[in-house]
Amino acid sequence: MTATKKKSIILKILKYLGITFVVIIGLLFLTPIIFADKIKEQIKKTANEKLSAELNYSDVSVSFFHHFPSLTLTLSDLNLNGSAPYAKEKFITAKEVSFGINVASLVFSKAVKIDQIYLSDSFINVKVNAKGEANYNIYKSSKPSNPKDSTETALKLERIEILNSKIIYDDLSTKVHFDAFGFNYLGKGDLNKSVFDLYSKAKVEKLNIVYEGEPYLMNKKIDADLITKVNVNSLSFFFQQNNLKINQLLVDFKGNFDFLKDGYNMDFVIKSNNSKLYDVFTAFPPKYITWLSKTELKGNTNLLLTLKGDYIASKNIAPELDLDLKIDSGFVNYNKSAFPVSNLNLDIKTRVPSLNPDLAVIDAKNISLNINQDYLKSKFHVTGVNTPVINADFKAKINLEKLTKALGIPDIELKGILTSDVKANGKFDQKNKLFPVTNGTINLENGYLKTKYYPNPITNIIVKSQINNQKGTYDDLKVKLKPAQFTFEGKPVFVDADLSNFVDLTYDIKAKGELDVNKIYKVFSQKGLDLDGFVKADVVLKGKQSDAEKGNYSKLHNKGTLELRNIGITSEYLPKKFVIKEGIFKINQDKMYFNNFLAAYGQSDFRMNGYLQNVFNYATTNTGVLRGSFNATSRYINVDEFMSETTAGTSVTENSAPKPETKTEIAQKGVIIIPTNLNLKFTANAQKVNFDKLNLQNATGNLSMNKGKLTMQNTGFDLIGCKVTMNANYQATTPQKANFDYAIKATDFDIKRAYNEIEVFRKMASAAEKAQGIVSLDYQLKGRLNANMEPVYPSLVGGGTLSVKDVKVRGLKMFTAVSKETNSESMKNPDLSKVDIKTTIKNNIMTVERFKFKFAGFRPRIEGKTTLDGKLNLKMRLGLPPFGIFGIPLTVTGTQDNPKIKVGKKTEDLEETKDTEE
């Protein structure tokens, strides 16, 4: 072929290529223009038909050049709101959202097919409330369309790409929250199929995961390469190949996740093989990263975490969790310490069936390390938590100062030589008095402790302890502490103890020293104790628990003194601190005597003299009963401050419908609880007592507490200007419920003042509102109190006599109605004198026995029933002057506020309200 022909052929090829290129370029420009209206119309139509949420954007364009070579429709400045109940809040915002258009569908199909989605600079804000209602349910479900219908837009995704975005997921129902910043994602797959493989690559610059308010991962960098099989029909996910990189830690993640009707099925396997110990710590929370920057770490780790099974909360079904962790040949050196930790080895396997701690099995085959010649070697196997079966072996000889410096333990300075050799094998069961077979020693010499919370250390700490148990029971347990001592603020404290037979505790204890409680608590940064508490002890306690219980006091050898000042004592039974302002105890055998013992509780003050008995037995066992006898005086006692407090999800009033359930915890009052292990007697004298809006003056009496019951005998006090005497019993049955009974006598009190000042009197004798004069009361009553220490009226049972003396009734609606019905004006405001009204109470009804009185020539007779909430069912005979031989029969029904008077003897029955707690 000649050169001329070759040149001609090349020119033709270039010509055709040029024409083809021009045509292609032309099509790239013209196609969006030709089909732009069709695409925009179909996208707008699809958005209106398929989305239930509000969609807004500033501009729309169609081009091949946004994501070349794909033809894309791009929405600028997109804002998509969420579904209810978040319809007014943003779900997705993005600088640009592009939809890839299948070009062939524009030419050969009536449907505009979208097979790609691109998001850039977006913010995806996922919210789920406590009821499980989410903001992402924006896609409308619709019935299958008719194939003959006109053009439509089909969403058949093959590619999802997200660039430089932020995701926040906040789920209040599961208490899971995570943030992903700098999120980049590329997903490929035929997403229009019911079962498809999704190939994903994801990178996150910062990932934070928080569960129940606790951070688990913070500021972690993630690099993931994932293959996930998705079944849309059954809504299940199969994670086939998932390689994650959390900062520098490589993790392999596989498993299944299926949505069930009422829960989930999970089968997850997370493992990291032959990882470097340093890389593992890069995945820890930020505070460890700071530590890591100053620490040399070596060694290999293997991690295997599995979570398998159903999670169905309503049926209390949970999966099994297994965790295996190994560290081989570890090396730790913080801040170039001269004594690094070497030969760090861990081999721990943990299994938690059904996520139930009582079924947990922890098998630590090896926990060991060295610091030069010092060593720590341990292994243990534990089954269960509440009554664990333990097989443990712990050996150590280690310098604590070297250990804390090599590990870089913050905020604490430890010194001393710790030596230990302890073996234990068996079950710990406090209820059945079982203790593992144990033999060993734990000793500390030249100990030293200093924290950042207090400038001065605890020094000269010496502990020599020995524990021995050959039978695996409480009665064979022996503990020796000879000696234990320390020095704090220049004052030494010494303790020497020999304890054995923890079923019938045999003890030999010597304690001597002074301790500033406030300062010692500051060393450990304990919050909530702001008292300058001081304890000075010089005591010898020697004896046997059973001798103290049986009264064999000659066999005891207890003596010494214990001085307390400004000590705060907390108890599960009391909502406030009981403060011992001043107290010097003298111990002699089983008794602890104290004189002029000053104490305070809230606004209440106490001065007591007397003794406590069986103190050691009470303090060291759950069954010991504290006995004692006191003379107590007080200027003021506020009984309301002794009421306990509990936490509950809802607050339900007696005899009312329960309120809707809520997860918000609220504080709820409770009744006063008397501990069952107290047997105390008081002769009390209080100038003023406040109890449930009652102001008692000059209260005196004998009080006793025994087996959770409070008894008051011959108690007297002044109330509303009259003398009151009372005997009473009180006992709490739960923190929200208590039973009581009392007998009360009150002579010549002002009925008007009683109505104005005593709330219970207003409720039980509301008719007294219009009365004036003097009455006396002799009444017995028993019943139940609710959590607010208020009587539950259907529970009240009792009876007694109300003696009326010169009482004037003015404006009482019942007598006004009788006056109107009988045309007797004098009946409207009767005057009563020397009338005894006997009543009984049961099932919320007060039965009034027949009583008669006379005034202005009339001789009325009344009997019947009333409810404690004011309903009436009374029979009345109005004896006419002069002698009442002839009378008018009347019935009084309705309520005290709206009485209904009829002439005749026919009455109506009142409905009883029985106590549901009986």
DSSP codes joined into one string, 810-861:
-S-HHHHHHHHHHT-GGGSS-EE-SEEEEEEEETTEEEEEEEE--BTTBEEE
Name the pTM for this structure: 0.60
Percentage of the residues of the chain whose pLDDT score is greater than 70: 74
Rounded to whole angstroms, the Cα distance separating 514 from 492 reads: 7
Q: Return the pLDDT at 464.
A: 95
CA distances 653 to 143, 650, 736, 792, 916, Å, are 49, 10, 11, 10, 13
Report CA torsion sign: 853, 855, 857, 861: negative
Rounded to whole angstroms, the Cα distance separating 251 from 271 reads: 6
Among candidate residues 366, 377, 450, 465, the one with its CA nearest the CA of residue 414: 450
- Model confidence at 26, in pLDDT bands (50, 70, 90)? very low
- Residue 649: is its pLDDT beyond 60? no
The average confidence (pLDDT) of the chain is 78
More confident position, 765 or 703: 703
Q: Return the pLDDT at 110.
A: 55
What is the residue type of 75? L
Rounded to whole angstroms, the Cα distance separating 461 from 486 reads: 4
Contacts of 368 (CB under 8 A, 6+ apart): 343, 344, 345, 375, 376, 377, 378
Q: Which of 134-143, 149-158, 495-504, 585-594 has the highest mean pLDDT?
A: 495-504
Rounded to whole angstroms, the Cα distance separating 530 from 377 reads: 41
Give residue-wise pLDDT tens across range 674-718: 888 888 888 888 888 887 667 788 889 888 889 889 898 888 888
DSSP conformational letter for 400? H
Rounded to whole angstroms, the Cα distance separating 493 from 906 reads: 84
Q: Which of 8-17, 374-383, 765-774, 829-838 has the lowest mean pLDDT?
A: 8-17
What is the residue type of 400? L
Whether the CB-CB separation of 371 and 341 falls below 8 Å is answered with yes
DSSP conformational letter for 767? G
Q: Which three-class secondary structure state does DSSP give residue 270?
A: strand
DSSP conformational letter for 731? E
Please, which residues bridge with residue 772 across strands?
A: 808
What is the residue type of 793? Y
Rounded to whole angstroms, the Cα distance separating 598 from 608 reads: 7
Tokens representing 739 are: 């039973």
Residue-level length of the chain: 918
- Model confidence at 918, in pLDDT bands (50, 70, 90)? low
Among candidate residues 862, 772, 847, 850, the one with its CA nearest the CA of residue 815: 862
Q: Return the pLDDT at 659.
A: 37
Q: Which three-class secondary structure state does DSSP give residue 384?
A: coil
Rounded to whole angstroms, the Cα distance separating 726 from 681 reads: 17
Residue range 54-73: average pLDDT?
Answer: 68
